[in-house]
Structure formats: structure tokens, C-alpha cells
Amino acid sequence: MSQATLNGQLIQDGGENCTVHFEWGTSTDYGFETPPQGGMTSDMTFSATIFNLAEGVLYHFRAVAMNSVAIAYGNDMAFALPVGSTIPVLLDDAGLAQLLEVF
């Protein structure tokens, strides 16, 4: 079992501070959430570490931002922890889970 650090960036806050977190799991239904992080504004980055990951399992995650105006979801991204390794491999070209604009 191992861990991975998920990274995201709030692209646009819509003029109001946002609370952000990640949804993650073994499918695009996710099933788990990281603790919320408040006070986020445009262009700020954030991260959360998830634990007890199994080797050889594909994990999905996406960033989520919300304020009193709207909620926005980042694109689904995936990573795996190869068998025999403790280093997760991101299965996408980008290193950040970029968020949609919040209006």
C-alpha cells in the first residue's frame, strides 16, 4: 500500500473565494473525497495526499471548487501504482487537475 499527492489549480474563482477538494476512487463514480480547503482564489494551487493505495489498481480523480454562486468540476484524470513500485504514474499529459471556471 502507498500514497499519492493530488495537485490542482483554481483557474477562475468568479470573484468570490472558493472551497476546493478532490473526488477520487477506482472509477469515475469516485466514492471518496479529500478534506475541503477554503479561502482559495483564482490561480491558487492546492494539493491533498491520499493513502492506502493498492498496486496495480487504476485510480480516478478530479478537482472540485464551489462558492455561493456555483460548483465546478475539473476533468477526470487517472493514475496507477505499478506493481512493485511506490511511485504513482499519472496517466494523462498534465500534472495538474485543472478546474473549470466558477461563475
* Residue 92 pLDDT: 55
pLDDT higher than threshold 70 for residue 82: yes
Which domains occur in the chain, in start order? 2-98 (2.60.40.2560)
* Residue 3 pLDDT: 86
* Residue 99 pLDDT: 41
pLDDT tens-digit profile of 10-54?
999 989 999 999 999 999 999 999 999 999 999 999 999 999 999
Residue with cell 468540476: 73
In whole angstroms, what is the distance from residue 13 CA to residue 2 CA? 33
In whole angstroms, what is the distance from residue 58 CA to residue 96 CA? 17
Burial 49-88, CB ≥16 within 10 A → b, else e: ebeebeeeeebbbbbbbebeeeebebeebebbbeeeeeeb
Segment 65-73 shows an average pLDDT of 93
